[in-house]
Amino acid sequence: MTIDNNSIDSRLNPFKLAESLSEYWSPKVISEVDEAYVKVAKLKGSFVWHQHDNEDELFYILKGSLVMEYKDKQVNLKAGDLHVVPKGILHNPVASVDCLVMLIENKATLHTGGNRQTSGCSIEEQLQSSNPI
């Protein structure tokens, strides 16, 4: 295990952890479930079109709203909503206002899919702990 907050008596508050982030589009790992990481992120503006060939990507909106753009439609999400981006589908998250999200992603998932020249955040960076509040 790479992080130590999965002990039986640990309690995390994803909302507070997301609120404490200072950088946009820079997910932080807060926990892990078998082969998946649980992350929080703060989003604003438009990210980048990308896809994850082999992994689904779960978004749970903690605060604000998010539009998940697809080539042929968009999904409007608000606080309390959950959305899974299916593997292999091009998508672009857009937040017109500050948005806090919790993400569940396979540990193999690259932040920006195969599109590495953009602002993808390495897993090493994502694992740097923001201290639990």
User: Which spans of this chain sit near Ni ion (rule: CB under 5 A)?
Assistant: 57
Cβ-based nearer residue to Ni ion, 5 or 56: 56
Cβ-based nearer residue to Ni ion, 13 or 26: 26
CB of 9 to Ni ion, least distance (A): 33
Instruction: Name 105's Cβ contacts closer than 8 Å, sequence gap at least 6.
Output: 36, 37, 39, 52, 55, 57, 58
Residue nearest to Ni ion (CB): 57
Q: Is the dihedral of CA 105, 107, 109, 112 positive or negative?
A: positive
Cβ-based nearer residue to Ni ion, 32 or 57: 57
Give the tokens for residue 103: 């993400």
CB of 110 to Ni ion, least distance (A): 9
CB of 20 to Ni ion, least distance (A): 23
Instruction: Name 124's Cβ contacts closer than 8 Å, sequence gap at least 6.
Output: none
